[in-house]
């Protein structure tokens, strides 16, 4: 069974803190990994992609990948109220078969 698992939350952090979002996946052969942000009532928006083990940083966002542990994470530094959204982890499990987790709802409190 091809699965992507995320803690549904809600995850609540104070403004300025680091938010840590986690994701595990079932297909050991997966090669590409993504994080999307989805505001309520809107469509998902790509914020990070990562293809190799280690960290990838883009502004306040850092994606971390550990293929041996089948684990992907997203860190959001200096969290802002505007970061409050649902974050979707997505894993490409072969050809066009991109699987999404159910999402983690993040709330950043002023």
Partner 1 sequence: NAGVTQTPKFQVLKTGQSMTLQCAQDMNHNSMYWYRQDPGMGLRLIYYSASEGTTDKGEVPNGYNVSRLNKREFSLRLESAAPSQTSVYFCASSENFGYGYTFGSGTRLTVV
Contact residues toward partner 1 (CB under 8 A) are 2, 4, 8, 31-32, 34, 36, 42-46, 49, 88, 90, 92, 95-103
With respect to partner 1, which residue has the nearer C-beta, 8 or 109?
8
Q: Reduce the DSSP state of residue 56 to 3 states and report it.
A: strand
Contacts (Cβ under 8 Å, ≥6 apart) of 50: 32, 33, 34, 56, 63, 64, 65, 72
In the chain, what are the helix, strand and coil shares in percent, each to the nearest 5? 5, 55, 40
With respect to partner 1, which residue has the nearer C-beta, 72 or 103?
103
Q: How far is the CB of 86 from partner 1 (least distance, A)?
A: 10
- What is the maximum span of the chain, computed from C-alpha positions, in angstroms? 42
Q: How far is the CB of 60 from partner 1 (least distance, A)?
A: 18
Q: How far is the CB of 88 from partner 1 (least distance, A)?
A: 7
């Amino acid at each position: 069974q091809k699965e992507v698992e995320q803690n549904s939350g809600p995850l609540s952090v104070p403004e300025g803190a680091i938010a840590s979002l986690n994701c595990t996946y079932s297909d050991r052969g997966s090669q590409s990994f993504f994080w999307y942000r989805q505001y309520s009532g809107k469509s998902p928006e790509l914020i990070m992609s990562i293809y190799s083990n280690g960290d990838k940083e883009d502004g306040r966002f850092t994606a971390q990948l550990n293929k041996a542990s089948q684990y992907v994470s997203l860190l959001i530094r200096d969290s802002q109220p505007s970061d409050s959204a649902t974050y979707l982890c997505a894993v490409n499990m072969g050809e066009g078969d991109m699987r999404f987790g159910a999402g983690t709802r993040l709330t950043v409190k002023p």
